[in-house]
Amino acid sequence: MLEKFFLKPETVDGIRGSWLGEPIERYVEWLDQNGYAARNMYRRVPVLRQFGEFARSKGAKNWDELPDFIDVFINKRVYRFGSNTRKSSRRLADEIRTPINHFLRFTLPDFKGRGRYSKLKTPFLEQAPAFLDYLREEKGLRGNTINLYEHNLRRLEKYLKKIRLHRFSDITPAILSGFMISSAQELCKTSMKALCSNIRCFLQYLEREGKVKPNLSKAIESPRTYRLSEIPRSITWENVKIMLEGVDRRTALGKRDYAILLLLVTYGLRSSEVAILKLNHIEWERKRILIPERKAGHRTAYPLSSVVGEAIIDYLKKGRPQTKDRHVFFRDKAPRTPISYSIVSNRARYYLRKAGVQVRKPGSHTLRYTCVQRLVDAEFSFKAIGDYVGHSSPSTTKNYSKIDVERLREISLGQEEDLL
C-alpha cells in the first residue's frame, strides 16, 4: 500500500523500518479505503514518523505510551518552526495534533485525545453516572433526545462551577432561579422550554436517588407557550422549484443532495429518517419506500414517486461510493461514512439560502412543513396528514397548518372591509 503513494524505495523502506512502521502502513491503507485524498498521506506520514522517533528517543517502549509524549512533541515543534504570533503558533499546534490524534485513535482503541476534535465530556459523570442509562433504559429515549439532555446538563454544570457549587445537596430554588434567568438571556422560548424539561427530569432522578432535597424539581417552571402562536416555516411550491433548480446535479454531491431534498419535500421526512435510510428500505419491484423507526414508534410505507426514484438511482449509479455499507447516502468527503441527520438539515439550509428563500430557521424541517402545508391545502384531514408524515397525534399536525398571511395583510390594509 505504501508504494501507491511513495515512489522512492528508500522512502518506503524508511517508513517500514521505523518504530511505528506497521501501524502507519495499516493507517495509510485505512485512509485510502475510506476515500482520503493522497495529500493526506504525504502530510501525515512524515509527522507520524517524526513523532514515533521522538517518543522512542524519550524512552517510550510500547505503543500504549505514545499519548504521554504528544504535548512535549508539539511544544518542541511549535518552538522550532512556529512564528512569534500566538495565533499562528496555535494553528501549527492544531495541524500537528490532528494527524497524531487521528492515528492514535485508529491504533489505540481506548485513546480519546484532546484538542478541537476531542469528544465532549459527559456532564455530571462522577455525581450521577447512571443518569444517561436511566434515560435510555427506563424512559426509552433515543440518541438525539439524549444528546439534547447532555447539552442542557452541560449548561447547568458550567453554571454550578461558575458559582463554585460542587455538591447536589447545596442546590436551592434560588440557585435554580438564577440559572434559568442566566440561560433566558441566551435562549429562545422554545429552547428554554426544552431546558426546563430536561433539568426538571434530572432533578426528579436525583430526588429518587436521594441526592437533592425533596420536591426541588417543582422549582423549575417552564415558560408559557401557546399552540399555533407562531407561523410555521413552510414555503411556497414555487420556491421549492427554485431551490431544486439551484442544485448542480452534474456532480456526485449535487446528485445526492437533489435526492435528499426530494425525499424531504415529497414525503415530509425528518432529517434523521433520511440519514438512516438503507438500500433494503427501497422496494423497487413493489415501487414503494419504507421508513422504519419513526418518532411515533411505527413504520410507514410510501409509494415510490418516479421523480424520487430516478433521483435516487442517478445517485446510486453515478454518485454513491463503492461500499458494502447498506446506507443510501454517504459523505462526499473522507471518511466516506453514512451521512448524519445534521448534514441533511445543513444541506437543506444551504440550498434554501442559495435560492434566496426568506424563511425563519431554514433547514430540513422547512421542507417538512411545506409538505404538510401542501396536504392541508389539498383538504386532507389532519388524521390522514399525521399518518402520512408520522405524527402520533392529529393535534401535532395542527401545529404545521398555516394561515394565509397575504390574505390577512390585505384585510389589515382595509381592502376587505366587506368581510368585517
Just list the catalytic residues: 270, 295, 365, 368, 391, 400
d(CA 7, CA 123): 49
CA angle 231, 233, 239 (to 5 degrees): 125
Give the three cell numbers for residue 87. 495565533
Sign of CA dihedral 142, 398, 345, 274: positive
Neighbours of 354 (CB within 10 A): 12
Of 12, 223, 70, give the one whose Cα is nearest residue 78: 70
Is the omega angle on the peptide bond into residue 214 within 30 degrees of 0, that is, cis? no
How big is the CA angle at 38 (ends 71 and 316), to the nearest 5 degrees?
Answer: 115
Helix 21-33 to helix 38-57 angle (10° resolution) is: 160
For cell 429552547, the residue is 191
